[in-house]
């Protein structure tokens, strides 16, 4: 299987959209790896899985799916046909029967983590100052402005329903542990990565390295693509 025949599908997490993968997409394209950002509505876990599957339907050939943060739960429930590997980027990986909230709140949050609460519509927005304080503290002021401006709220229905049997039980996985993460405790990331027996890479990056350390994210996705393509 040629490396160029494997497509990287990138799923954004809560409070983000596909533009959060922009620098990773260009880095992968420079290495001859096709990349596609899958838009998720963040309205329910089931809705997000369905949206991811619709993106997969538009792509021919084998795929490696990368998920950031909340999207780790989504990529693990993707339709398994043609999915050759999963890459977790500071991502949540609930076991079958666990809720996203169970793993997110497994340990005491970082002191600078934002206090999260749903609005009257059952949607959770990230406070604007949280982008610089916790979501991407290593990003530039310009990036903080963009991230805050394009943020997508996440519904309670995404994080309060039990997950199904995860695909990481059946395909190879890679996990980038973000040592400077203030949103998902690094110890929780390591717990999930070790539980799924992932290929682990631990880096001194913040919660959103697709923005602040895109080369590192592209590297781990490239390694997954290379492993499944035999190149």
Q: How far apart, in whole angstroms, are the C-alpha atoms of residue 191 and residue 178?
A: 13
Q: Is 189 helix (H, G, I), strand (E, B) or coil?
A: helix
The predicted structure's pLDDT at residue 230: 77
pLDDT in tens, 104-121: 988 788 888 999 899 999
Q: How far apart, in whole angstroms, are the C-alpha atoms of residue 94 and residue 38?
A: 20
The predicted structure's pLDDT at residue 112: 86
Beta-bridge partners for 221: none
CB 12 within 8 A of CB 21: yes
Tokens linked to 122: 């059952």
pLDDT in tens, 196-229: 999 999 999 999 999 999 999 999 999 999 999 8
Q: Which letter does DSSP use for residue 7 in this model?
A: E
Q: How far apart, in whole angstroms, are the C-alpha atoms of residue 201 and residue 32?
A: 23
- Place 101 in a pLDDT band, splitting at 50, 70 and 90: very high
Across all residues in the chain, what is the average pLDDT? 95
Mutual angle of helices 214-229 and 22-30, in 10-degree steps: 50
pLDDT in tens, 138-195: 999 999 999 999 999 999 999 999 999 999 999 999 999 999 999 999 999 999 999 9
For the chain, domains (ranges, CATH) are 3-229 (3.40.50.1820)
Tokens linked to 156: 């309670």
> Cβ-count burial of 11 within 10 angstroms (0-12 exposed, 13-18 middle, 19+ buried)?
buried
For the chain, counts of helices (H) and of strands (E) = 10, 8
Beta strands in 58-151 (DSSP E): 63-68, 83-89, 123-124
């Amino acid at each position: 299987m040629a490396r160029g025949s494997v497509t990287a599908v990138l799923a954004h997490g809560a409070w983000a959209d596909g533009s959060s993968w922009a620098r990773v997409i260009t880095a992968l394209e420079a290495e001859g790896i096709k990349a596609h950002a899958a838009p998720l509505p963040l309205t329910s876990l089931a809705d997000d899985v369905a949206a991811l599957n619709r993106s997969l339907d538009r792509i021919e050939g084998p795929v490696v799916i990368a998920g950031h943060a909340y999207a780790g739960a989504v990529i693990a429930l993707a339709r398994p046909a043609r999915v050759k590997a999963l890459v977790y980027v500071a991502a949540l990986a609930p076991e079958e029967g666990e809720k996203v909230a169970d793993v997110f709140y497994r340990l005491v949050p970082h002191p600078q983590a934002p206090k999260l609460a749903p609005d009257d519509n059952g949607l959770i927005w990230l406070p604007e100052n949280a982008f610089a304080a916790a979501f991407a503290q290593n990003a530039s002021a310009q990036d903080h402005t963009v991230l805050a401006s394009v943020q997508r709220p996440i519904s309670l229905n995404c994080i309060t329903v039990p997950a199904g049997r995860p695909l990481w039980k059946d395909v190879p996985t890679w996990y980038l542990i973000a040592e400077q993460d203030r949103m998902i405790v690094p110890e929780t990331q390591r717990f999930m990565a070790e539980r799924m027996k992932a290929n682990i890479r631990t880096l001194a990056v913040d919660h959103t390295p697709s923005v602040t350390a895109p080369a590192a994210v592209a590297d781990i996705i490239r390694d997954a693509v290379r492993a499944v393509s035999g190149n």
